[in-house]
Structure 1
Amino acid sequence: MTTRSLIIDCDPGVDDAVGLLLAFAAPGLELLAITTVGGNVPVEATARNARIMRQIAGREDVPVYAGAERPLVREPAGAGEFHGLEGTGDLTVFEPGAPMAQGHAVDAMIAIVMSRPAGEVALSVMGPMTNVALAMRKEPRLAAHLGCVVAMGGARSEGGNITASAEFNIWADPDAAAEVFASGCEMIVMGLDATHQVRATEDRIAAIEAIGTPAAEATASMLRFSHRIEREIVRGEDPPLHDPCTVAWLLKPELFTTRPCRIEVETASDLTRGHTAVEFRIDPATARHHWATKADGQGVFDLITAKLKAAAPQQGAVG
């Protein structure tokens, strides 16, 4: 089995936390680091939540670095109403046993990527792109040295989930996203067009819960919170599962259909701040961006269920 070297940059957040638990359970991923950023909740909470998921998964071997507290130029704007006050839904938070890694997430990202051969380290971006943009500013060679960047963010045909035209991760720091998209790195982008096809139905949640391990129970708890919030706030039905799609693509890309494109981000307009302009009318041979248009929702949940079930022997305690 081929192992993919990976850094996860995230802002847990319920769906980020589920994505982390999936990644921790996947032997096909060499997790080099988790880097956290302020987004869904403040960076102090995202760093703690990442360590909580690490402890639940029994993966204290993976270092967690705290990163940017705020967007490049905007005021911070969280999404606690969709993730709970602490960012983990109904899951009780606690102070994890293993500490943060020393140093800033941006410096860790640069050091890890640049110490490996070009193209070896992939990056999963589950939150605002602030850390990535800061790293690219500090080390201009980073974009060319990275492997593929698989990001959750943006919307095209589905419209936005924070404004009429913008998805939260891009809207939260559109200036950072614009820099990363313009950097020339290879990007696979999981926008709402694809993630809205991956829904946490009651049957899918129950299948995860039935595994009975700490990671599965934590996953089911957070998904049930999302299920309730989707009805209370969005007036929808089954909640979409956004950020884990980045990890799912890395593990099983055939679950998704992507199209070559060019993506630019709106930064000047308050009305359409964070809008992702996805242009398919380009030469595919020159494309650095690929936009996910379809996702196999059942396949993604089957993957999560299978990985959590297989990882059962290594998992730790909730608190």
Structure 2
Amino acid sequence: MERIILDVDSAGDDILAVLFAAVSPSIKLEGVTTCTGAAGPIEQVTNVVLNTLALAGRGDIPVAKGAWRPIVGNSKADMEAPVHFEKRLVARFGDRLKKFNPPAPTPTLKVIDKHAVDFIIDTVLGSPGEITMVVTGPMTNLAMAFLQEPKIGPALKRMVLLGGNFVTPGNITPLSEYNIWADPEAARVVLNQGVETILVPLDVCEDNRAAASMLTRDDLADLKDAGDHPVLAMLQDSFPIYIDIWREFFDLVGFPMDDIITVALAFDPTLCTMSEPMFVDIVLNPGIARGQTVAYRGRQLLPGGGPKTTRVCTDVDGRRFMQLFKDTIVRYQSAA
């Protein structure tokens, strides 16, 4: 059983990732840490996690609130782009948008009395060599943990990180993926630690070449037949609009499951084909390339580079992943 800390920014697929990790027989979810990102401010991000765990009946899992802003960041207007993106959808989707990233109600569960960075440090150092860090949003919390306590690098088992793009165009600029762009300084800190890392880019998630791994209405129909547990009912109620947006606005065949793929790789790395370990760096300069992921694949004349410890996912066994997701989520019904 893989022991993980899951660090999220509570976008739609983060919700599915929390539910997946909380019920998977292959995972021991040591805690969930939160970071400001695509879903909005840290209070919204954290409340979504608390409400999701309450729905799952997993109030025993600690939740630690983390970074409310990136280490450096971009302009205020640019950082709010994911929130303003929703306003662009109103004319097309109307009232259906009420199910898309709604304001989280006041949760019944509470966060622990410890910052996410301290929770990461204490948990990793308390079980050296046993904890896998899974980050599905900006990497701010993990970067601050490395900067605060360098001992956690050697103590981590591995990292599985969602971010970057190498073949597929970026989703925030043509060259940059959101998680990296939102805090590129943090991503550079994390990828320079020399920790064994799996990096999950847009190439294997938000590209129709990975269509078999995307959630469709057919998958929701399969889950509808599985029972009426509150988690399964929520999926039927909330996720059709996610599928519609990614089909109609982004021209994908379904809703990409980036975060859930990342979690699943923590215990089954064979779900993806990966590169050999190499160094991946981040562009920090202002402009269109800020946040671009750069892989050191060859031999360059100018000096540079860093630890060759990152394997980049290049393909995904989409059908096997989607079956794994559905087989795992329906465990909520049997657990009830």
Give the alignment's TM-score, normalised by structure 1: 0.90
Superposed displacement of residue 308, structure 1? 1.3
Do the aligned partners of 1:13 and 1:87 also contact (CA within 8 Å) in 2?
Answer: no
- The Cα offsets for residues 260-305 of structure 1, whole Å up to 9 and x where unpaired, read as 22211111131101111123338xxx73100001112222221111
Residue 18 of structure 1 is matched in structure 2 by 16
Aligned residue number for residue 93 of structure 2: none
Q: Determine the C-alpha separation between the residues in 1 that align with 2:28 and 2:242.
A: 29
| 3-state SS, counterpart of residue 143 of structure 2 | helix
In 2, Cα distance between equivalents of 1:269 and 1:34: 32
Query: What's 2:303 paired with?
Result: none
Q: Would the aligned equivalents of 2:214 and 2:253 in 1 still touch at CA under 8 Å?
A: no
Query: Structure 2 counterpart of 1:7, which letter?
Result: I
Aligned pairs, number: 309
Q: Aligned pair 1:100/2:121, yes or no?
A: no
From 205, 221, 230, the counterpart of 2:220: 205
1:89 aligns with 2:104: no
- Residues 1-319 of structure 1 mapped to structure 2, 5 A cutoff: 3-40=1-38, 41-75=40-74, 77-78=79-80, 79-80=82-83, 81=85, 89=100, 93-117=104-128, 119-196=129-206, 197=210, 198-211=213-226, 212-260=228-276, 261-281=278-298, 287-314=308-335
Structure 1 residues 263 and 82: alpha-carbon distance in aligned structure 2, compared to 1, 3 A threshold: farther
Is residue 44–residue 104 contact of structure 2 (8 Å, CA) maintained in 1?
Answer: no
Give yes or no for contact 1:57–1:314 (8 Å, CA) kept in 2: no
Q: Residue 284 of structure 2 aligns to a residue in which SS?
A: coil
Q: Once the 2 structures are TM-superposed, how far is the Cα of residue 90 of structure 1 from its aligned partner?
A: 6.2
Residues 60 and 98 in structure 1, CA contact (< 8 A), matched pair in contact too: yes
Q: CA deviation at 1:104?
A: 0.5
Residue type of the alignment partner of 2:220: I
Amino acid at match of 1:115: G
Sequence identity (%): 29
TM-score (norm 2): 0.85
Task: Report the RMSD for the aligned CA atoms in angstroms.
Answer: 2.3
Structure 2: which amino acid aligns with 1:27? P
In 2: Cα distance, 1:289 partner to 1:88 partner: 37
Offset of 1:201 from its aligned partner? 2.2
Query: Deviations 1:146-166 (Å, cap 9, x if unpaired)?
Result: 111001100001120111011
- 3-state secondary structure, aligned to 2:134: strand
Distance 2:101 2:193 in 1: 38
Structure 2 residue matching 1:251: 3-state secondary structure: coil
Cα distance in 2 for partners of 1:224, 1:232 equals 12
SS of the residue corresponding to residue 170 of structure 1 reads helix
**CA spacing shift, 1:186–1:220, aligned 2, 3 Å:** farther
1:231 CA displacement:
3.9
3-state SS of 1:74 partner: coil
How many Å apart are 1:74 and its aligned residue? 1.4
Q: After the TM superposition, which of the residue ranges 67-76 and 161-170 deviates more from structure 2?
A: 67-76
Separation in 2 of the partners of 1:24 and 1:103?
21
CA distance in 1, matches of 2:251, 2:262: 26
Q: Give the SS at the match of 1:35.
A: strand
Partner SS for 2:249: helix
Aligned partners of 1:172, 1:222: CA distance in 2, in Å?
A: 26
Distance 1:205 1:24, change over 3 A: same
Structure 1 residue 185, shift from structure 2 partner: 1.2
In the aligned structure 1, how far is the partner of 2:6 from the partner of 2:98? 17
Which secondary structure does the structure 1 equivalent of 2:137 belong to? coil
Asked if the contact 1:193/1:294 (under 8 Å) is kept, the reply is yes
